[in-house]
Amino acid sequence: MRFESPTTTKAAATLLGSESGVAHVLAGGTDLLVRMKMGAIEPDLIVDIKRIESLRTLKVAAAGVQIGAAVPAVRLGESDKLRSLWPGVVEAANLIGSDQIQGRCTVVGNLCNASPAADSVPALIAAGAKALIVGPKGKRRVAVEKVVLGPGRTSLARDEFIEAVVLPARTGKSADAYLRFTPRTEMDIAVVSAAVNLTLSRGVVQSAKVVLGAVAPTAVIVPAAAKALIGTKLDDAALDKMVAACRAACNPIDDKRGTIEYRTKVAGVMARRAALSAYERAGGSK
């Protein structure tokens, strides 16, 4: 195995493109090194992207947020401004593993690992985030939900990698929230999760996005759930309708972390609580 730590995105793309064996991008490494340790992958080349200055940048403004691929999750929580703009994205990113993991893991890495239970992905999708993808042919920008194809599979070409995710401009009374269920309070993988992003006007939901995690091979956007919220002040009937829509959208599996029945039921519970939290954060009151 070779280890390279290029200092430009171009050099990184060239290294990935010219490797004939198995190449992997190393950002935080909290998933990659585990898979190497378990013998699940045996890379011929590791490209560490943390020495690329632009990828270590976190830009936060109301007009937009850019989270570089090498920015550890802990830095998101350290930005008061980001926390006030996108509290749901930050809480999702900060739920990934322990403080030790937070010091390394990245939102982009969480996305590229393509786990159905990834914490930050539903929140990013709910936020309308885009991934900035670089490759030898230049850059492209795609919606985050287009990146993950299934467990462990992404739409990236072998010589491409994501340099950052960007969050759109924040306007009006908006807020997001992310909640997951885990048996332990920390150090756990989401059994089921929900992200909700709302914009209000005079306490009434103008736009909404509801995304569920760990209930299908990829994160699931639930338009019917969003629709149930729009035009309401999150009264019980609206919430019940949203919960029903969420449960209908679930297509989970039975595994060591949860059952179909449990995931389906608790997906609704998480969505309801996340919606209420986002609503309150956006200034709504019930």
Partner 1 sequence: MNGVTVSAKVNGDAVQYVCPADESLLDVLRNRLNLTGVKEGCGTGDCGACSITLDGRLVCACLVLGAEAEGREIGTVEGLSEGGQLHPLQEAFIEKAALQCGICTPGFLVAAKSLLERNPNPSEEEIRYALAGNLCRCTGYDKIVRAVQSAAKMMRRGKKSAR
Partner 2 sequence: MPYETDFTNQGFTKVGTRVNRPDGVDKVTGRAKYGADANAAGQLVGRVLRSPHAHALITKIDTSKAEKLPGVKAVLTSKDFPDLTGGNRGLMDILENCMARGRALYDGHAVAAVAAIDADTADKALKLIKVTYKLLPHVTDVDEAMKPSAPIIHDWVRTAGVTPAPTAASNVAQRSEFGHGDVEAGFEQADVIIEKSFKTEQTHQGYIEPHACLATLGPDGSGELWVTTQGHFTFRNVCASLLGLDVAKLKVTSSEIGGGFGGKTHVWTEPVALQLSRKANRPVKLVMSRDEVFRATGPTSSTSVDVKIGAKRNGKITAATAELRYQSGAFPGMWAMFGAMTSFACYDLKNVKSVGFDVLVNRPKVAAYRAPSAPMAAFAVESVVDMLAAELGMDAVDFRIKNAAKKGTKASYGPVYGPIGIGPTLDAVKNHPHMKRKLGKNQGRGVACGFWFNFGGQTCTDLNIGVDGSVNLTVGTVDVGGSRASLALIAAEELGIDYDQVRVTIGDTNSLGHNDTTEGSRGTFSSGMATIFAARNAVEVLRQRAAATWDIPVEQVVWEAGEARAKGKQNNNLPPLSLKEIAAKSPRTGGPIAGHNEVVADGAGVSFASHMCDVEVDPETGATKILRYTVVQDAGKAIHPDYVEGQFQGGAVQGIGWALNEEYIYGDDGRLQNAGFLDYRIPVCSDLPFIDTQILEIPNPNHPYGVRGVGETSIVPPLAAIGNAVSNAVGVRMTHVPMSPPRILKAIEDGQA
Return all residues near 84 (Cβ < 8 A) that are at least 6 apart: none
Which span (2-10, 22-30, 49-57, 256-264) binds partner 2, by CB under 8 A? Answer: 256-264
26 binds, among partner 2, partner 1, none (CB under 5 to 8 A by kind): partner 1
Which of partner 2, partner 1, none binds 189 (CB below 5-8 Å, type-dependent)?
partner 2
Q: Of partner 2, partner 1, none, which one does residue 43 interact with (CB within 5 to 8 Å by kind)?
A: partner 1
Partner that binds at residue 103, options partner 1, partner 2, none, CB closer than 5 to 8 Å by kind = partner 1
- Among the residue ranges 60-68, 83-91, 121-129, 187-195, the one whose residues contact partner 2 (CB under 8 A): 187-195
| Minimum CB distance to partner 1 smaller for 99 or for 202 | 99
Closest CA to 112 of 60, 74, 164: 164
- Sheet of strand 64-68, all strands in order from the earlier edge strand to the far edge: 58-61, 64-68, 161-167, 130-135, 138-143
Among 15, 144, 147, 189, binds partner 2 (CB under 8 A): 189
Using CA atoms, how far apart are residues 8 and 57, in angstroms rounded to an integer? 13
Between 38 and 138, name the residue whose CB sits nearer to partner 1: 38
Is 122 or 258 the residue whose CB approaches partner 2 more closely? 258
Is the separation of the CB atoms in 22 and 44 below 8 Å? yes
For residues 46 and 228, which CB has a smaller minimum distance to partner 1 in the complex? Answer: 46
Query: Which of partner 1, partner 2, none lies near 56, with the C-beta cut-off 5 to 8 A by kind?
Result: none
Is 181 among the residues that bind partner 2 (CB under 8 A)?
yes
Number of Cβ within 10 Å of residue 74's Cβ equals: 17
Sole window of 8-16, 112-120, 135-143, 261-269 interacting with partner 2 (rule: CB under 8 A): 261-269
Integer Cα distance of 108 and 20 in angstroms: 24
Selected binder of partner 2 within 20, 185, 202, 285 (CB under 8 A): 185
Enumerate residues 6+ apart whose C-beta is below 8 A from 184.
Answer: none
- Does residue 282 interact with partner 2 by CB under 8 A? no
Residues within the interface to partner 1 (CB under 8 A): 1-3, 5, 26, 28-30, 33-34, 36-38, 43, 46, 48, 50, 72, 74, 97-101, 103-104, 185-187
Applying CB under 8 A, the span of 59-67, 71-79, 140-148, 255-263 interacting with partner 2 comes to 255-263
| Contacts to partner 2 by CB under 8 A | 38-39, 181, 183-189, 191, 255-259, 261-262, 265-266, 269
